[in-house]
Amino acid sequence: MKVAFQGEPGAYSEQAIFERWQTPETLPCETFDAVFEAVASGQAQAGLIPIENSLAGSIHQNYDLLLRYQLPIAGEHFLRVRHCLIGLPGASKDQLRRVRSHPQALGQCAAYLRSLNVKTEPVYDTAGSVKLLQTENDPSVAAIASRRAANLYGMEILEEGIEDNPENYTRFLEIRLTPPDIVVEDAKTSIVFTLKNSPGALFKALSVFALRDIDLTKIESRPLAGKPWEYLFYVDFLGATQTESARRALSHLEESALLLRVLGCYPRARLP
């Protein structure tokens, strides 16, 4: 099983792949576009892309790519982001003078790092900060990255779960060439639609779900630049597109939506 992801070996996306599949082969890609390309061309059997993080928000760019490539969502995966303090084998926390990582990871561990009384140094990539440790061989320097990055580069985890806010998780979507098999009772459907911006337009659009007791698990509006009166909406709901109520809801929604696209219907995952 070959799965494409964006980032360097040891990135959190790669860790998510290792949680999701037993013995995957991973394909690192430089950009999200390249992940979609790899799946579309058959170079990889699946791709795993982050779609939202509980602290950083949704990644609109990946919604754009889902619309552009029309590859169906085949599943979802929640990764609890647990940052690790990583040092040379045998290093101790007392010796540390400097800690390096991506600015976002440093920011998410700010209180912990203050308690260590170390200097922080931003680099562009969490996994890259671990690779640097290997080259430099200085026990007074540590990195912040995933457990997988520590293992990959033969470094030692000095402490795990050092993030200030434990409610830090990323939701990933699996993309494939073909839709997955689903159990209707445990399915989730993701759609995108646009509405003319008039007062109450969204309220009417949501009525198609409320009238049928369909439960929404996500809603997000996104203004369309250059089209100041149009909005794009992302909605996830519990249920499968082939049920009578979902079929009717979508056909009802089509009456008022300027554009309506089903991005996928896939087995639902639970928050960790």
Active site residues: 170, 172
7 contacts 170 by C-beta, under 8 angstroms = no
Interface residue with a copy of itself among 93, 122, 184, 186 (CB under 8 A) is 122
- Told to check if 95 binds a copy of itself by CB under 8 A, we report no
C-beta of 191: minimal distance to a copy of itself in Å? 14
- Looking at the Cβ atoms of 90 and 228, the one nearer to a copy of itself is 228
State the minimum distance, in angstroms, from the CB of residue 57 to a copy of itself.
4
By CB under 8 A, the count of residues binding a copy of itself is 55
Query: Least distance (Å) from a copy of itself to the CB of residue 30?
Result: 8
Instruction: Choose the binding region for a copy of itself from 140-148, 173-181, 182-190, 194-202 (rule: CB under 8 A).
Output: 194-202
Choosing from 2, 222, 248, 252, the residue that interacts with a copy of itself (CB under 8 A) is 222
Stretch that binds a copy of itself, among 11-19, 139-147, 207-215, 245-253 (CB under 8 A): 207-215
Residue numbers at the binding site for a copy of itself (CB under 8 A): 31-33, 52-61, 64, 102-103, 107, 110, 122-125, 166-169, 197-200, 202-204, 206-207, 209-210, 213-226, 228, 270-272
